[in-house]
Structure 1
Amino acid sequence: MSDFFDHVKEGLRKSPKALSSRYFYDAKGDALYQKIMNLEEYYLPRSEMQIIENQSVQMARDIALVHSRLQIVELGAGDGTKTKHLIKHFKPHFNSLEYVAMDISDNVLAINEKEIKSETEPIKYKGVAGDYFETYKTIPATQDGRLVMFLGANIGNYTGSDISELFTFVKSKLKDTDYFLVAFDLVKHPRKIMAAYDDSKGITKQFNLNLLERMNRELGANFNLGQFDHFPYYDPLTGVASSQIVSLKKQIVEFSQGFTVSFDHFEAIHTEISKKFFLSDIEEVAEESEMNIEQTYFDTDKGYTFVLFRPQKYGMD
């Protein structure tokens, strides 16, 4: 709770106010996110699953050209409902397969372990709870090949130099024969993107406002949810979709620890970004982080892609 409260105090004192989307994911937030994943407007999981179902075998073959034994480390692993299919397709191509699931949510990791173990032949499994920026640092070296995965288009939560920093961070635990598999949501019609973040059932709104509920539950705040609204926005010039929580009146919110925060009429809290990429953006990320693009795997609409990166060998241009 201390880390959460410290983040809230810092974020709500900023101008403009901002809170991290990582705090969406408590038990209720996890459940709401699963509902979002099943929404008709939220196309991303279907696009990703199409690639997993149709191209996981090819991914495995490409990696097996270099490694006969493989450790898969997934950052922000989620509930495993998609990953179990990828692992199922990978397993016949390797003499040994280990899966390390990293996620900030204990609730989600419990589901992940159940999914992976019940739907695939026995493999080495390890769940690691916590912020992967901390837990990833602790993974020991392995003699096996390593594939780090960052799926769900979560790379879109980063922009600019933060993306290069993430790639450099991941590369710190990779040999030059290892791989980094990243899912990118590509630019497409702006209305399709807007609908994905402003669904007709209002589940995305509930998901965002649950952040206020969580502060009420865990930090003793007195947010009145009826006095706030969720506002998503997409800028086709930058490819950035963003989410805000907007105060519908001038008000003061109090926390049980004595912290108070004031809101002007229509003042917003920024909660999340989700960048959509041009292929040239991905090439630029690879160049800046000194990674090679080994393969790209697209869905049928060419609106979503898995990109397989590999660290450049030391001294190579």
Structure 2
Amino acid sequence: METTTTVFNDTFASDIIEGLSSTPKFLSSKYFYDEKGDAIFQQIMEMPSYYLTRSEYQIFDTHKKALLQLFGPDCTPFHLVEFGAGDGLKTKVLLQHFIEQKACFRYLPIDISENVLSLLTHDLEMKFPTLEVEPLANDYFEALNILNQREQNERKVILFLGSNIGNFEHEQAIGFLQKMRQHLNPNDLLLIGFDLKKDPAVILEAYNDKEGITRSFNLNLLDRMNKEFGGNFDTTKFRHNPTYNPLTGATKSYLVSTEDQVVTLEKLGKSFHFEAWEAIDMEISQKYSLSTIQHLAEQAGFQVTSNFFDKNKYFVDSVWSVK
């Protein structure tokens, strides 16, 4: 376990150096999720303006019977493998239904946050004592490698929820999905969530809440770097700035330096100069059309089997089979 942590911190350090040395500067949103970041994101999901969680929850509650028929009809055994499990709020809707229907499955949540997995596993043990749970604190594809070496025959159903695919640029998303395809067998399925294009005002409000919770979520990454690498980021000198481009569907979050300043990360032996109003590219949250989703599936070696929508058609959970 210590080795995994060391490698992760080394990767975190090298990613920081690369990102803050680049023009324009950038940081990876995957590092938002330390213990404090996990807690802030739970608050984000509860915000009235953050429609994504509610929309996907509604999809699962409405279509859980149809999903079980796709995943494991007539007690066909399968592994339910969730990428980036988080608190499992939406997935618990499926788990409860599958258990009630005596489905033959095991749940394998994968997350880079050991803290999240520990909390989730304890919660599931209390709520569903008969559920087989095997948490994997690892990189997604390394976890799939481990599973493939051990379990050759049973179907894998991959859950990639919450429009997490939207955190990739388009070409990166295709590359990620192609890599996933390489780890899957012909009988496996992928359920993947996509946030759909909609009224730009609705989208922007979800990423620029008046309570300032999303702002805190972004600034927490600077606090995390201060704590882990001896940094002196002053978060009062950075402004949270989200944008949405309805042509491309890209929602982007930036932290903008409000003055000329130099930030030092002592443990890395590095200093970084920021000009006044220079931005750090923090995150992309891509919004999709159905035609783009179809294109992604085809490019990555999948076939769209079914699409499930919430009542507002804000969100779609798309089930893909391997071509």
Q: Is the 8 A contact 1:19 1:271 kept in 2?
A: yes
Residue matched to 2:3: none
Quick one: which of 174, 190, 199 aligns to 2:200?
A: 190
Q: Is the 8 A contact 1:78 1:109 kept in 2?
A: yes
Residue matched to 1:295: 306
Question: What's the CA shift for 1:93?
Answer: 4.6
Task: Give distance in 1, aligned partners of 2:208 and 2:291.
Answer: 28
Residue matched to 2:5: none
Question: What's the CA shift for 1:166?
Answer: 1.7
1:285 partnered with 2:299: no
Query: Which stretches of structure 1, 4 residues or longer, exceed 6 Å deviation after superposition?
Result: none
1:28 partnered with 2:39: no
Residue matched to 1:97: 105
**Counterparts in 2 of 1:235-250, with a 5 A limit?**
235-250=245-260
- TM-score between the two structures when normalised by the length of structure 1: 0.95
**Structure 1 counterpart SS, 2:208:** coil
Task: Give distance in 2, aligned partners of 1:136 and 1:165.
Answer: 16
> Which deviates more from structure 2 when the two are superposed, residues 156-165 or residues 58-67?
58-67
Q: What does the per-residue CA deviation read over 1:180-200, in whole Å, with 9 as the maximum and x for residues that have no partner?
A: 000111000000000000001
CA distance change for structure 1 residues 85 and 118 in 2, over 3 Å: closer, same or farther?
Answer: farther
Task: Give distance in 1, aligned partners of 2:168 and 2:75.
Answer: 30
**Structure 1 counterpart SS, 2:266:** coil
1:179 partnered with 2:189: yes
**Structure 2 counterpart SS, 1:130:** coil
Question: What's the CA shift for 1:138?
Answer: 2.6
Q: Is the 8 A contact 1:67 1:144 kept in 2?
A: no
Residue matched to 1:225: 235
**Structure 2 counterpart SS, 1:261:** strand
Q: Counterpart of 1:303 in structure 2: which amino acid?
A: Y
Task: Give distance in 2, aligned partners of 1:168 and 1:135.
Answer: 16
**Counterparts in 2 of 1:67-146, with a 5 A limit?**
68-93=76-101, 95-140=103-148, 141-146=151-156
Question: What's the CA shift for 1:273?
Answer: 0.3
1:305 partnered with 2:316: yes
CA distance change for structure 1 residues 244 and 66 in 2, over 3 Å: closer, same or farther?
Answer: farther
CA distance change for structure 1 residues 66 and 265 in 2, over 3 Å: closer, same or farther?
Answer: farther
Residue matched to 2:72: 64
Residue matched to 1:265: 276
Residue matched to 1:274: 285
Q: Is the 8 A contact 1:67 1:145 kept in 2?
A: no
Task: Give distance in 2, aligned partners of 1:144 and 1:289.
Answer: 22
Q: Counterpart of 1:242 in structure 2: which amino acid?
A: K
Q: Counterpart of 1:275 in structure 2: which amino acid?
A: Q
Task: Give distance in 1, aligned partners of 2:123 and 2:23.
Answer: 42
Task: Give distance in 2, aligned partners of 1:34 and 1:142.
Answer: 36
Task: Give distance in 2, aligned partners of 1:107 and 1:95.
Answer: 28
**Greater helix proportion:** 2
Which segments of 5 or more consecutive residues in structure 1 lack a partner in the other structure?
313-317
Residue matched to 2:24: 16
Task: Give distance in 2, aligned partners of 1:191 and 1:162.
Answer: 27
Aligned CA RMSD, in angstroms, stands at 1.5
Q: Counterpart of 1:174 in structure 2: which amino acid?
A: L
Residue matched to 1:167: 177
CA distance change for structure 1 residues 94 and 308 in 2, over 3 Å: closer, same or farther?
Answer: farther
Quick one: which of 42, 48, 55 aligns to 1:47?
A: 55
Q: Identity over aligned residues, as a percent?
A: 38
Residue matched to 1:315: none
Q: Counterpart of 2:117 in structure 1: which amino acid?
A: L
Residue matched to 2:12: 4
Q: Counterpart of 1:296 in structure 2: which amino acid?
A: N
Residue matched to 1:199: 209
**Counterparts in 2 of 1:209-220, with a 5 A limit?**
209-220=219-230
Task: Give distance in 2, aligned partners of 1:134 and 1:12.
Answer: 28
Residue matched to 2:218: 208
